[in-house]
Structure 1
């Protein structure tokens, strides 16, 4: 690519669109005057001038073409998961040796000793920092900078490591997740990583462009990432794994509340394909939206009725989006009443259309985008984007015609993108998994407190909108000791911590199965079966469970079953 093409990847003067081209270059010919960046056989990114990202762009190109925006699923466990007990059996003393652990996150503090060998060399094979522009890009990728193990080791010898390898984790989330999954043990601080002999491969995601954040009404100061950069990051990890002929477990601890929560989005579909491939493990947390009051489940029982949704909007809300997903083959329409009582009569949008709603007595503007048949899910989508929403109670009457009773779902953005004072008055705590967590084949993890075996209070709950069983497993995720950016330690809670712990355990499984040749074709699907088979299940609960999945992760129980023990 030319320098101008590289500039378009970073510049807010250009907007990014994800195109499913299916490996056929002719499907990209209509974008010949733009910059095109191929991700893999399935997907490409097209960079067009930002003025193409108009308020009615969804009606022109469809919802799935716009990259969703991902945020963090913020985040003793070694003993409660049976790891120490299994290591006491010599043949199962597994620490992830010969297995790669991959992370697509906020980066990593490569100077932290928990990521170093005894001789002070690094355990990190590669870092791809998407935020640093140079000519040192990874093979097959046209942006960012790749740092090798040799370069990192050279930096660690320097008095100023960041003058040699300048990549940093300014936020700390990526360092936490990698540390829990793979950090060296530090008993004096009660810190115990899981896969302590695995090698790490890390992607630092570049921040989302302001133009796409503005389109979805996400405040400019919020940290989020674009779907296309996430897909590029995952593909980089997969390509590196192939190049060195090693199995890889990928922990994805960013997610989004956008989309249909049915496992059929662009990234979810692709991850499900990869999750059945031998040598690839994909671990995703459910997210922390269980108590955020950001999901509404509605039911319309007959033609003459409707369902009234009440949404409280806080005083400091500058804007937000809201997605209404209606089940096919039914048709949906809406009317709106503002906090001051101003009424917008019932409207139905045909095919792919955009409607602008201005209020006389409110400063609010709402753009409503409608897709009668959204391309990935096949369902009807109504996307409402609010600018300067008035404080108070908004009411939406949802009508439908079709096959009764008729249900629909509404999701607000994930809680870190919206005021805590904006929520549904009658929320549904279930189907509060984030979108990637709904993907059918990856391993989806919820968090629990290992001290009293209670569910983490904020954990998202299943099942998916189309009743796929999620989560799959529960792992420790409350008060987990993790590394800080000052090389200390602190306790964190969240489903990211649980997913990181599970990713470390998955690396142990891959060592036993693939590296030691006991189950050489092991995939994510196989990992799930092994973990589910050995899971501990609580008396009095039915399984699979919308909160606990198939039970609590216990690798010791799993390997007991492998050995034929009762």
Structure 2
């Protein structure tokens, strides 16, 4: 009978003779034949002194975890101890598990001819910042690979010289100055970072007080271009030089409101990276691992258009994550031919909620909104000024009727729900009824805020996973990156989905445009954390830097090594699409889930295809 306190594989190992365990890859891990003891991980409560009294070695960790070294004959004693809640044996971790791009055909071009590593290419990470003194961001001689770091949240005292001089009398004054052309934040050069690296740790951060408080940017940068001593951890382009922009509002060390950047900071960051690449005359890859759900998702917003333009400046590639909204229940799409009902579950404790309805301006709908208690109101669509307020139960709804814009042909009807009293909007089932009055296409698209902007219980019933790409991954000329699970070689259901050979009739999305372009590993990817260790991370945020690193390798081969001086922009996208490999369960390519397939760098590089 299996011991319920022991994990299955440990039960199996204990019931397997040693000579048989030794023939397996995992069962004998944690067993020492010399002292005939097991190393075990336990979750416990209270004191483990009674185990110490039996010559069991106890190493207490934190939060009720410990490592025990247990003579084989005493494993049952450990299990019988009331303070022990659960027991596991160690597992072996291979160095390949800390190589983020190991499943994307990197080794054939990095570990043998043409030995690509990103040298001579700039890789810009616009994110939550970076732990800039970590080993993974240094060269072999200990100097930094960060060419420039612009922290938008660090205020530079305007009374100090702006020529990078640091008065000796003010030891707490940091290096840096406001970057040229921008009126806030502080820029640090590689020289200043290298000087700070020579100081004790506390003094470093007095000189360069830029920190990544969330760890997101550090993880992204590490996956894209990290490398530890001895190569135990290797990112996708481990010798690329980094430009890091910590996005956020000046004076807010956590970034912008609630730690998230605004569109304006992103625009400035992209501009900054492009200018630096131009000054250095180096090819540039820009990594954007963020997005939101506001917009018609058709490339018509100014941010999307800006990125399309930016991708045509210099020798540039922009990679953007498709977002994690694929299974978040934040989108519903339909084609109205008769009375349609869309049900929306609103969870408890929602302080506010907005709903976007995007439609063809030529279509006329009658729209009714019903509250959980059955109160109903018609959304009048001919109000002068396009804005009015109505109330259902204890929720006030601000209604805005949009018009086509100079850069967008779609019509938006926007609802903002706020509480009248009590601090929260009414929880329960809200119903949106749509009736056709005069339709040409009948298509409509409903969006809620992104998942991190609402409670887990709030979402559409019968939601539509297609067209859940977050903005700005919807820009036409960026490389849009989704995620797949490399263990199962299957699409990750959270990954934002798009369209292929679209028949969409609103907005500027052209028929035939495919999004995402391809997918990369995005589940349990090892990445550097803010404490100098490594943690598994999941999301399209972490699939994107793998593709950014792949783009850097292609640009190194083409531009830096002189094999193809025009290998940038849409050409990089075309090569990556062509080299993409199929995934399990996907029958037609391109499709709205994985685009052209999963990343394979070796097959994307001309004349270096592999049958790996």
| Fold similarity call, TM over 0.5 | yes
Counterpart of 2:101 in structure 1 is 78
Are 1:138 and 2:179 matched, yes or no?
Answer: yes
Which one scores higher on RCO, CA 8 angstroms, separation ≥ 6? 1
Bigger mean CA deviation after superposition, 163-172 or 461-470 = 461-470
Q: Is the 8 A contact 2:581 2:597 kept in 1?
A: yes
Aligned match for 2:390, one of 330, 349, 357: 357
Structure 1 88/482 Cα, relative in aligned 2: closer, same or farther at 3 Å?
closer
Counterpart of 2:354 in structure 1 is 321
Counterpart of 2:520 in structure 1 is 475
Are 1:153 and 2:199 matched, yes or no?
Answer: no
Counterpart of 1:545 in structure 2 is 591
Aligned residues: 475
Shift of 1:404: 4.2
Aligned match for 2:398, one of 339, 362, 367: 367
SS at structure 2 position matched to 1:79:
coil
Q: Is the 8 A contact 1:77 1:450 kept in 2?
A: no
Deviations 1:360-400 (A, max 9, x none): xx221111111121443211101111112200011111234
Shift of 1:186: 5.7
Aligned match for 2:322, one of 270, 280, 286: 286
SS at structure 1 position matched to 2:595:
coil
Aligned match for 1:455, one of 483, 486, 491: 491
Shift of 1:185: 4.0
Bigger mean CA deviation after superposition, 534-543 or 377-386 = 534-543
Q: Is the 8 A contact 2:311 2:478 kept in 1?
A: yes
Structure 2: stretches of 5+ with no match in the other structure:
1-98, 159-176, 420-424
SS at structure 1 position matched to 2:433:
strand
Shift of 1:113: 0.7
Counterpart of 2:209 in structure 1 is 166
Shift of 1:500: 0.7
Bigger mean CA deviation after superposition, 151-160 or 171-180 = 151-160
Shift of 1:479: 1.0
Shift of 1:87: 2.3
Which whole-Å CA distance do the structure 2 matches of 1:77 and 1:121 have between them?
23
Which whole-Å CA distance do the structure 2 matches of 1:376 and 1:182 have between them?
37
Shift of 1:207: 4.5
Higher CA-based Rg = 2
Shift of 1:208: 10
Q: Is the 8 A contact 1:277 1:523 kept in 2?
A: no
Which whole-Å CA distance do the structure 2 matches of 1:348 and 1:117 have between them?
61
Aligned match for 1:442, one of 478, 482, 490: 478
Are 1:93 and 2:135 matched, yes or no?
Answer: no
Counterpart of 1:269 in structure 2 is 305
Superposition RMSD on alpha carbons, in Å?
A: 2.2
Counterpart of 1:44 in structure 2 is none
Are 1:495 and 2:540 matched, yes or no?
Answer: yes
Counterpart of 1:56 in structure 2 is none
Counterpart of 2:568 in structure 1 is 523
Counterpart of 1:381 in structure 2 is 412
Shift of 1:265: 0.9
Which whole-Å CA distance do the structure 1 matches of 2:155 and 2:569 have between them?
34
Structure 1: stretches of 5+ with no match in the other structure:
1-75, 214-219
Shift of 1:333: 3.9
Which whole-Å CA distance do the structure 2 matches of 1:328 and 1:562 have between them?
49
Structure 1 353/184 Cα, relative in aligned 2: closer, same or farther at 3 Å?
same
Q: Is the 8 A contact 2:491 2:583 kept in 1?
A: no
Deviations 1:22-45 (A, max 9, x none): xxxxxxxxxxxxxxxxxxxxxxxx
